[in-house]
Amino acid sequence: MICKLVAKSENKIDFRLETPRNTYIIKPKFMKASVTLSRDPVMMVSPASLQNRWTGSRVISVCVGLCLLLLQGCMRPVSQPFYWPPPAQSHTEYPASQPPSSQGAEVTNTGRGATTVRVVEKCLINTGQTKTFIHEVGPLETVWRLSRMYDVPQQDIYAANRMKTEDPLRIGQKLVIPNAKSLRHVIPLYPSNQWKYIIIHHTATDIGNAMLVHRSHHDRGFWQGLGYHFIIDNGTLSKCDGQIEVAPRWIKQQEGAHCKAGGMNGKAIGVALVGNFNETLPTTKQMESLAYLLRTLMQQYRIPPSQVMGHRDVDGASTDCPGKRFPWSNLRQCLSTY
Ligand SMILES: [Zn+2]
């Protein structure tokens, strides 16, 4: 086992265990020392911070105890992104003719010519230093997309996962992303006259991500599963708070399955935020990401603010989606200043 254990505080001892795949929080009742385990194994103790004398046998006892705790599942895994510093305010654009390789289907397979598709990117999280990340593959995600999201060369992702370029990705597959430098929104913008409205939804669930909604919609009989074009995550199910997931319907430029009323499925972009906004509010980062996404889409497709609406505001829709507590005034204010 290769892992690193460090004390966060000398009085209120709160341990983080970092492994190549996860970070764990260890409650104080389990541990009282700072120990580093390595492949050799070499063990180190930090007596200055602990004011405690440790003998070799006690250290070994701790190590053995730690291994037992791991086996018993006594530790709570914590996703890496929550330890990352605030996002940098960068915004870059790339001509779509630059990126794709064999995995770059989302840009090359539109049938519209790669030079006519723009891809805009915005940093959500800057790691500050490179980190290894475990990514769970969402619907129609590609190595090209992951390379952009994490600012890691495609060949590094292939190598870290012992994959060949022709290997397909599977939904739910866990990939090692080595030396991730950031987490970015990567939004492809296709030329189209189809999109006249943007309809905002909530998932009406406390947790979720594109993969979960895709499976849920598929089970409910929705044509081709995930009915929205974009999902904005709330930091659950291994996704970051405010992360924008681009759904297959957007990549394929297909009509949605999110609002039958008013014929909106054929003319409206469906954006869903993970959460139940009858009960809670969206997170600040979700609202920031929503504002960014709406501005980007409104500008690209010349959609006026009056045609950005909630599901329940569509004539004929019988729903309270996106929830009674959705902060419309804040969003309208944000969009009006754009
Ligand atoms: Zn809805």
In a shared domain, residues 54 and 102: no
CA distance 266 to 253: 11
* C-alpha of residue 127 to centroid of ligand 1, in Å: 34
In a shared domain, residues 297 and 166: no
CATH of the domain at 292: 3.40.80.10
Return the pLDDT at 221: 81
* C-alpha of residue 195 to centroid of ligand 1, in Å: 17
Strand order in the sheet with 118-136: 91-95, 118-136, 174-189
Neighbouring CB atoms inside 10 A of 278's CB total 14
| Structure token pair of residue 67 | 């291994």
In a shared domain, residues 124 and 71: no
| Residue 43, in any domain of the structure | yes
Say whether pLDDT at 76 is over 50: no
In a shared domain, residues 257 and 320: yes
Strand partners, 123: 184
pLDDT digits (tens, 9 = 90+) for 251-278: 999 999 999 999 999 999 999 999 999 9
* C-alpha of residue 202 to centroid of ligand 1, in Å: 6
| Residue 84, in any domain of the structure | no
CA distance 258 to 244: 17
| Residue 71, in any domain of the structure | yes
Report residue 38 CA to chain centroid gap: 31
| Residue 85, in any domain of the structure | no
* C-alpha of residue 322 to centroid of ligand 1, in Å: 6
Return the pLDDT at 108: 46
| Residue 245, in any domain of the structure | yes
> Position 64: which residue type?
V
| Structure token pair of residue 320 | 């309270």
Say whether pLDDT at 2 is over 80: no
Q: Which residue has the tokens 């940093």?
A: 123
Say whether pLDDT at 310 is over 60: yes
Return the pLDDT at 50: 32
Overall number of domains in the chain: 3
* C-alpha of residue 272 to centroid of ligand 1, in Å: 7
In a shared domain, residues 18 and 43: yes
In a shared domain, residues 102 and 166: yes
| Close Cβ partners of 25 (under 8 Å, ≥ 6 residues apart) | 14, 15, 16, 17, 75, 76, 78
Return the pLDDT at 274: 98
Return the pLDDT at 96: 39
CA angle 92, 88, 331 (to 5 degrees): 85
| Residue 86, in any domain of the structure | no
User: What is the extent of the structural domain holding 11?
Assistant: 3-78
pTM for this predicted structure = 0.69
The mean per-residue pLDDT over the stretch 34-42 comes to 33
Task: Identify the domain boundary among 141, 160, 189.
Answer: 189
Tell me if 80 sits within 8 A of 179, measured CB to CB.
Answer: no
Say whether pLDDT at 194 is over 60: yes
Say whether pLDDT at 26 is over 90: no
Return the pLDDT at 57: 47
